[in-house]
Chains A and B, each alone.
Chain A
Amino acid sequence: MSGAAVAARPAGGRAFTWAAAAVLAALVAGAVFAPVLSPAPFDRLDLVGTLEGPSARHPLGQDRLGRDVLAGILYGGRVSLTVGLAVVGVSLVAGTLVGFAAGYAGGWVDEVVMRVVDVLLAFPGILLAIALAGVLGPDLGNLILALSVLGWVGFARLVRGEVRSLRHREFVTAARVLGAGPARLAWRHILPGLAGPLAVQATFAVASTILAESSLSFLGLGPQDVPTWGGLLSQGVDYLLFAPHLALFPGLAIMATVLGINVLGDRLRDRLDPRSAGRGGAV
């Protein structure tokens, strides 16, 4: 039992959680106030300052066209946050609806949904998103679509499992006998209990979506008209020898964001579901 209680203690302690939250807040603020905070507009070229390292005027240096890297990262954060929130929002709603329908209706509806889930999960990791974004063309909307195609699956499985286990519990049967329809059952009796696990899953999903978005942008499958963290990093890799700061800072932004969200997700899970803490499965 003592072993079970251990994992509930936050990794690295409370300070670690606060540090993660602070870094995350700074990155979000940076993205929101990018136009105000940027030392120079990102599209301003400066052919004298190409590949220059960090300086007073350009705290994170300049890229191959002399553009300000800090501005690129601030604006790139907008893409990552937009994609992260949009994909998880769409996935959360769609996954909950589908999962509820499958778990509640059972029978062939459930069978069809689970077969579709099996097929989507047969594509490893983000391969399907890579292929879809590649086929649809590099664009913000296509990126969100490509990542949402797989995104809903996790939510659907969570809701379906819970609905199936609750469907025949007494309080649900009682509500049904009293005349509650499926919508009311879902909204009033089943979903409230699921809010916690869904919130935890959504938090982790934002982190993994941002990681996936950066990966796709790195591969050249993200939006082309605005800076993205993955895109900046990909350009930086070409100048690794002469200007390592170009690859360093965008990567740091991605990792700090993903790590920050994962740490908060961990903490949220420990708080909402002490049982899971015993499983030690922080990662």
Chain B
Amino acid sequence: MIRRRLLTLVPTVLGVVTLVFAFVHLVPGDPVDVMLGETARPADRAALRAELGLDRPLWAQYTAYLGGVARGDLGRSIAYRRPVAELVASRLPATLELAGWSLVVALAIAVPVGVLAAVRRDTGFDRGSLVASLLGVSMPNFWLGPLLVLAFAVHLRWLPVSGRDGWSSVVLPAITLGTGLAAILARMLRAGLVEVLDAEYLRAARARGVGEAKVVWVHALRNGCLPVVTLLGLQLGSLFSGAVITEAVFAWPGVGTLLLRAIQGRDYPLVQGCVLVISLGYVLANLLADLVHRWLDPVQGVTDGK
């Protein structure tokens, strides 16, 4: 099963690399003109054209790009004059730190809220949490971020406005990025739990004298969170692309800000490298979510058929 899942990754990854390769050829006009400006000296243009391999036939460019990616060579940045892989790698820890803490924030909000909403369904709490999650998914994080900065950094002066310096600087970006995910997860968790709370095995557990708290938090949660794990993998997409925007709001020195600077500077090899690394990271995260799902639910093949 796991091997088959891994095999399905091959065409996907190949497709991602192909699409990213095509970026340079989607540039309207001549990418060399766009990058250097039309007043550049012919020698410089020829040099850049050769460096990017644009003077070779498309097929040769493509195979060279594929080969490079396979070896971990993502080309050279035009603006930084350094290997793209090295630049992206230097920014990756900051993005992972932001994404990791955002996930913590999301789960810390979503699990208690989702469980309480399911247990106390049809109460004020349940409906209130639904309204709150509608607000959460509709709130752009490039607005929530500045609002949090205004309140906690400018007025209260508890936390830094931006940058990455010490543990306190990750708090506001992580809350900004985590709340949208929390809103979605809380609703999914509630839905998953509502479906199992009346299940027979839980009634059996209650009849055996298992306390309600244990029934909910141990027995029900394990099954109720199954759909959540798979969807969590997919929802990480909003975390990954949201990280680009959140990094921009907080001047967080991650891959997202690197990508935006590359776009502004028309540094196409760097744009390609950033997009490729973020996307492949996302593909891996989804694979991981799948494997966790399998581990939580060994009889998946049986339950899927219902």
Contact = CB atoms under 8 A, between A and B. Distances in A.
Interface of A: 2-4, 6-7, 9, 11-12, 16, 115-116, 118-119, 122-128, 130-132, 134-137, 207, 211, 214-215, 218-221, 230, 233-234, 236-237, 240-241, 244, 247-248, 250-251, 254-255, 258-259, 262-263, 266, 279-283
A203 to B, nearest CB: 13
Nearest to B126: A6
A215 B27 CA distance: 21
B122 A251 contact: no
B258 to A, nearest CB: 13
5 contacts: A119-B16, A124-B236, A130-B244, A131-B259, A221-B263
Contact of B134 (A3, A124, A234, A263): A263
A116 B15 contact: yes
Contact of B279 (A124, A136, A279): A124
Contacts of A6: 121-122, 126
B15 A282 contact: no
B52 interface: no
A122 B283 contact: yes
Interface in B13-39: 13, 15-16, 18-20, 23-24, 26-28
A137 B249 CA distance: 21
B70 to A, nearest CB: 17
A115 B9 CA distance: 10
A136 B183 CA distance: 33
A125 B237 contact: yes
Given A119-B15, A215-B142, A281-B191, 6 more contacts: A118-B15, A125-B237, A127-B244, A135-B24, A219-B260, A248-B147
Contacts of B279: 122-124, 127
A124 to B, nearest CB: 3
A218 to B, nearest CB: 5
A283 B19 contact: no
Contact of B154 (A115, A126, A241): A241
Contacts of A244: 150
Given A6-B121, A214-B140, A230-B142, A127 B11 contact: no
B19 A258 contact: no
B282 A124 contact: yes
Interface string B188-201: 10110010011000
Contacts, number: 183
Contact of B245 (A124, A137, A215): A215
Contact of A279 (B137, B191, B263): B191
Contacts of B188: 281
A126 B241 contact: yes
Interface of B: 8, 11-13, 15-16, 18-20, 23-24, 26-28, 121-122, 126-127, 130-131, 133-140, 142-143, 146-147, 149-150, 154, 183-184, 187-188, 190-191, 194, 197-198, 236-242, 244-245, 248-249, 259-260, 263-264, 268, 271, 275, 278-279, 282-283
Contacts of B282: 122-124
A258 B135 CA distance: 9
Nearest to A234: B142
B133 A283 contact: yes
B237 A262 contact: no
A215 B127 CA distance: 29
A267 to B, nearest CB: 11
Given A11-B130, A123-B282, A280-B187, A3 B143 contact: no
A134 B31 CA distance: 13
Nearest to A6: B122
Contact of A115 (B15, B242, B260, B271): B15
Given A127-B244, A240-B150, A244-B150, A118 B121 contact: no
A136 B249 contact: no
Contacts of A128: 19, 275
Contacts of B143: 233, 247, 250-251, 254-255
B4 to A, nearest CB: 14
A171 B126 CA distance: 42
B140 A262 contact: no
A210 to B, nearest CB: 10
A220 B278 CA distance: 20
Nearest to B34: A137
Contacts of A136: 26-28
Contacts of B283: 122
A136 B279 CA distance: 19
A130 B259 contact: yes
Contact of A240 (B149, B184, B197): B149
A124 B237 contact: yes
